[in-house]
Structure 1
Amino acid sequence: MTRLFLFTLLAVAFIASFAVSAPTGLANWPDRHGPTHDGVVADVDAERLPIHWTDTENVAWKAPLHDEGHSSPVIAEGKIWLTAATTDGTKQFIIAIDEETGEILHDRLLFENDEVEELGGAVGFNNYAAPSCVLGPGVVYAHFGSYGTAKLDAKTAEVIWQRRDLPCRHYRGPGSSPVLHGNKLVLTFDGVDQQYTTALDVETGKTLWRTDRTTDYEDLGDDGKPLRDGDMRKAYCTPAIVQVGDQRQILSVGARAMQSYDLETGEELWTLRHKSYNAGIRPLWIPKKKLAIINTGSRGAQLVAVQLDESTKGDVTDSHVEWVRERGNPRFAMPIEHDGLIFQVTDNGVLTCIELETGDELWKKRISGDYLASPVLANDRLYFFNQSGLGTVVKAQREPEIIAVNDVPGMGTTACPAVSNGAIFVRGKEHLYKIQTH
């Protein structure tokens, strides 16, 4: 008994020492919304995040960026990955930055395009490097919509495979980011001419399945006239992959409707009709409640709570909706759930706290600026970054309380922040910033 007890103590001590001495690069943020796809920071990082910073205080480094991009930083194995593109979209790049030092490790021209669709009215709103990368063990998946998708070796940035034959007329540019799950890379295309979801084999890049949306885009609009092409068919949504019973579902919001697909086969499982278009916010999944929180888009955007179970099939518009919030919803920033509350910020900076069970608004408060970036949650603190460089820290609770407002003009962002090893990484227009307590 004594030997067993001593052996157990030694084993525990060994494991503990390994955990303490593990390299910092193991912590990661592999998806634009973090490891759990909901903007929630892991406990190991949450306590260490700074609350206050300036351009000279608690900014560990800033790394120069070239050209433009909306893609959010993603992090694994000590490297930060993001994309960039020339203003005219003829050249598209992937960039890797050392997490610790800010050194540029790779800056690779990935795709060159002879023919580029103009962004039209989306100039200034979108660009040709909007989708974010997603990371797997030792690999990086970069996506630029119909312009190209590639799998790269994370050590060398060399291309393992690429696809440039996935068609879509994006109309105002691509925006949906890829989602990785097991052996599948899920891509979403919601353009003027085609609207579909496809899954690629991560080893070969070959198409496993493709499913077109079944949405009836010819329904009459609110004015009684047929819907026109263009925005009325467009969406920019990154889907959510959720577990419902024994089945993994892809929740994908498009214009005029959203669909759920079986991850394995691509079969459509159910649909929810709505009246919006240009949907750009990822569905928020509350697994304990089996509740999906859906933002429908940019024209009269609704926030819709949909109750799911293993038997959910067909059109659920009139059968599975728990509540609908008709007004005061964002077009870009994903909501966050904490302790039975939903927090979201509108494009013009109105922060609201909503009761998860009922959809009732508990409070609202204005925070300065315009917002495209989704917030992150660290324990009970919410971090919001706007387009002019303000970083606002708010208590995630039933009463409004602003903890700090930090102003670094160059840190104005249109990309979601990332968190790793007790630091926040924010993509400004000209630099990537690392915010960390010294």
Structure 2
Amino acid sequence: MTLERLFACGTIVVSLLIRSPRAHIGLVLLVIGVFMGGQASAQSSAEWIQFRGPTQQGIASSVKLPTEWGPETNITWRKELPGVGWSSPVTADGRIYLTTAVPLGEGRKADQSLRTVCLDADSGDVVWDVEVFQQDGETAPKIHTKNSHASATPILEGPFVYVHFGHMGTACLRKQDGSIVWGKQELAYKPTHGNGGSPVLFGDNLIFSIDANEKQAVIALHKATGDIVWQTPRNVPDLPKYFAFCTPLLIEVNGQTQLISQGSGAVMSLDPHNGQEIWRVTYGDGYSVVPRPIFANGLVYVCTGYDRSSLIAMRPDGHGDVTETHVEFILDRNVPYNPSPVAVDDAVYMISDNGILSCVDGITGDVRWKNRIGGNFSASLLTANGLIYMLDEAGKSTIVRHADEYEEVAQNDLAERALASFGIHNDAILLRTEKALYRIENK
């Protein structure tokens, strides 16, 4: 354990003991375990291989990202992309991977070519562009205006890239040339407003969720074959709406890996080896859940979705239904429906969809400060070097400092529609808009 991590751990433990009347020794020990174990190993990787990066939580460590950019400033390249897709870019070994849906005709009911595209990270040139599946436009379900047919972010491991198109199927491709190792479409279902949640990898399992009105389950496929390993139904009865678009989060608690998976009405912790439920917290009728959970200060934080989102902080060391015993606090104001929050030290930052940024004490739930930035937000937050990066739907980025009060560092406007979250390659930001992918770095 480094001196820096020891100091950070001690700071949070002191905060727990002084500021939170509900803190107890079990939670303190859990924080120490997090700092010494899973969190340290998660941040050691430099590649941005999955949605929200190596920590799964929008944390970019040991990078020097730019704070200013524009059409003539710090733009290394801009590459026009075919079709439409809101998957975020992922990177490894000098290449960038993303998905897109290219219409094969005119009109709203045109067939769609669901594709994976590989770019050279230095030049932006297309290395390969491969069709994975085709979607019949006549039978395709309607999607939300803020969704696409290619919204799930790929995930990289070794020589493979795994891509997920929700009800249309999941596939494994070779990173080198895009050749398809396997593609599975046996889990067909009718989505509500389209697809959104991205997959995660654990051991031999590729894990994602199905959260539509007709079916709600967490699924594990064998990453080498695409065969189903396990399915766990959510078992959340009597809700008016059941759909969600959330990406699961892998955490380690007391030496056990947990898969934190949200859907309508509840967040579940599962054993990723076999899908067995460990614990759950319920939150009423919350639906259309989008933000990915985060894990910091020994607590799991979730946003509960529509029609009124709450931020719930809970201890992940229980068993069974722990709604009454393990919830540390609930915050009901200015909580996002779409952008995932980010944690820095003992603070949790979140941006509401209508542009109110809040800095929340991650232990007590007290709001330290808030500021109206304006605009509309869907992209998840990013933190690097003590800064918080935000991207609104019109392509304007706002950067603020992690501090005891609001301190704006910069605003940069690309004036292009943007819903995808940031990617990182070395010291460069990868920013996807409706039409193009940008590489942005200090020059």
The interval holding the TM-score normalised by the smaller chain is 0.7 to 0.9
1:50-129 equivalent positions in 2, closer than 5 A: 50-86=66-102, 88=109, 90-114=112-136, 118-120=140-142, 122-129=143-150
Query: Which secondary structure state, in structure 1, belongs to the residue aligned with residue 374 of structure 2?
Result: coil
Please give the alpha-carbon distance, in whole angstroms, between the structure 2 residues aligned to 1:418 and 1:261: 28
Q: Residue 300 of structure 2: which of 292, 302, 309 is its match? A: 292
Give the CA deviation at 1:368. Answer: 3.1
Q: Are 1:269 and 2:275 counterparts?
A: no
Please give the alpha-carbon distance, in whole angstroms, between the structure 2 residues aligned to 1:398 and 1:299: 31
Per-residue displacement from partner, 1:318-366 (whole Å, max 9, x unpaired)?
Answer: 1100000012100111111112111110111110100111111111111
Q: Are 1:177 and 2:177 counterparts?
A: no
Q: Are 1:305 and 2:313 counterparts?
A: yes
1:196-207 equivalent positions in 2, closer than 5 A: 196-207=217-228
Q: Are 1:340 and 2:346 counterparts?
A: yes
Q: Are 1:187 and 2:187 counterparts?
A: no
Letter in 1 for 2:215: Q
Please give the alpha-carbon distance, in whole angstroms, between the structure 2 residues aligned to 1:376 and 1:256: 27
What is the Cα-based RMSD across aligned positions, in Å? 1.5
Per-residue displacement from partner, 1:290-312 (whole Å, max 9, x unpaired)?
Answer: 21001111211110000122xx1
Q: Is the 8 A contact 1:185 1:202 kept in 2?
A: yes
Query: Which secondary structure state, in structure 1, belongs to the residue aligned with residue 358 of structure 2?
Result: strand
Please give the alpha-carbon distance, in whole angstroms, between the structure 2 residues aligned to 1:368 and 1:98: 35
Q: Are 1:373 and 2:373 counterparts?
A: no
Please give the alpha-carbon distance, in whole angstroms, between the structure 1 residues aligned to 2:275 and 2:288: 23
1:387-398 equivalent positions in 2, closer than 5 A: 387-398=393-404
Q: Are 1:212 and 2:233 counterparts?
A: yes
Q: Is the 8 A contact 1:86 1:128 kept in 2?
A: no
Per-residue displacement from partner, 1:41-83 (whole Å, max 9, x unpaired)?
Answer: 021x1xx211111111100000111111110001111111111
Q: Are 1:279 and 2:255 counterparts?
A: no
Q: Is the 8 A contact 1:119 1:127 kept in 2?
A: no
Per-residue displacement from partner, 1:270-304 (whole Å, max 9, x unpaired)?
Answer: 11111210011111012xx3210011112111100
Please give the alpha-carbon distance, in whole angstroms, between the structure 1 residues aligned to 2:124 and 2:135: 29
Q: Is the 8 A contact 1:237 1:280 kept in 2?
A: yes
Please give the alpha-carbon distance, in whole angstroms, between the structure 1 residues aligned to 2:129 and 2:154: 14
Q: Are 1:30 and 2:49 counterparts?
A: yes
Query: Which secondary structure state, in structure 1, belongs to the residue aligned with residue 167 of structure 2?
Result: coil
Please give the alpha-carbon distance, in whole angstroms, between the structure 2 residues aligned to 1:116 and 1:293: 40
Structure of higher CA gyration radius:
1
Please give the alpha-carbon distance, in whole angstroms, between the structure 2 residues aligned to 1:272 and 1:320: 8
What are structure 1's unaligned runs of at least 5 residues? 1-25, 220-226
- The size of the alignment, in residue pairs, is 392
Query: Which secondary structure state, in structure 2, belongs to the residue aligned with residue 233 of structure 1?
Result: coil
Per-residue displacement from partner, 1:211-239 (whole Å, max 9, x unpaired)?
Answer: 111111x25xxxxxxx2xxxx11000001
Q: Is the 8 A contact 1:305 1:322 kept in 2?
A: yes
Structure 2 residue aligned with 1:139: 160
Structure 1 residue aligned with 2:39: none
Structure 2 residue aligned with 1:260: 269
Q: Are 1:358 and 2:364 counterparts?
A: yes
Query: Which secondary structure state, in structure 2, belongs to the residue aligned with residue 146 of structure 1?
Result: helix
In the superposition, relative to structure 1, how do residues 96 and 116 fare at CA in structure 2: closer, same or farther (>3 Å)?
A: farther
Q: Is the 8 A contact 2:60 2:383 kept in 1?
A: yes
Please give the alpha-carbon distance, in whole angstroms, between the structure 2 residues aligned to 1:376 and 1:169: 32
Please give the alpha-carbon distance, in whole angstroms, between the structure 2 residues aligned to 1:283 and 1:233: 18
Moved over 2 A (4+): 86-90, 113-120
Letter in 1 for 2:439: K
What are structure 2's unaligned runs of at least 5 residues? 1-44, 104-108
Per-residue displacement from partner, 1:13-60 (whole Å, max 9, x unpaired)?
Answer: xxxxxxxxxxxxx942001100111101021x1xx2111111111000
Q: Is the 8 A contact 2:141 2:190 kept in 1?
A: no
Give the CA deviation at 1:392. Answer: 1.0
Q: TM-score, normalised by structure 1?
A: 0.87
Give the CA deviation at 1:181. Answer: 1.9
Query: Which secondary structure state, in structure 1, belongs to the residue aligned with residue 168 of structure 2?
Result: coil
Please give the alpha-carbon distance, in whole angstroms, between the structure 2 residues aligned to 1:297 and 1:149: 26
Structure 2 residue aligned with 1:413: 418
Q: Residue 242 of structure 2: which of 233, 258, 267 is its match? A: 233
Please give the alpha-carbon distance, in whole angstroms, between the structure 1 residues aligned to 2:70 and 2:260: 39
Query: Which secondary structure state, in structure 2, belongs to the residue aligned with residue 382 of structure 1?
Result: strand
Q: Residue 355 of structure 2: which of 343, 349, 359 is its match? A: 349
Deviates more, 1:249-258 or 1:149-158: 249-258
Please give the alpha-carbon distance, in whole angstroms, between the structure 1 residues aligned to 2:370 and 2:138: 42
Give the CA deviation at 1:86. Answer: 3.5
Give the CA deviation at 1:207. Answer: 1.2
Give the CA deviation at 1:264. Answer: 0.7
Please give the alpha-carbon distance, in whole angstroms, between the structure 2 residues aligned to 1:181 and 1:174: 22
Q: Is the 8 A contact 2:50 2:90 kept in 1?
A: yes
In the superposition, relative to structure 1, how do residues 391 and 99 fare at CA in structure 2: closer, same or farther (>3 Å)?
A: same
Please give the alpha-carbon distance, in whole angstroms, between the structure 2 residues aligned to 1:207 and 1:380: 42
Letter in 2 for 1:56: E
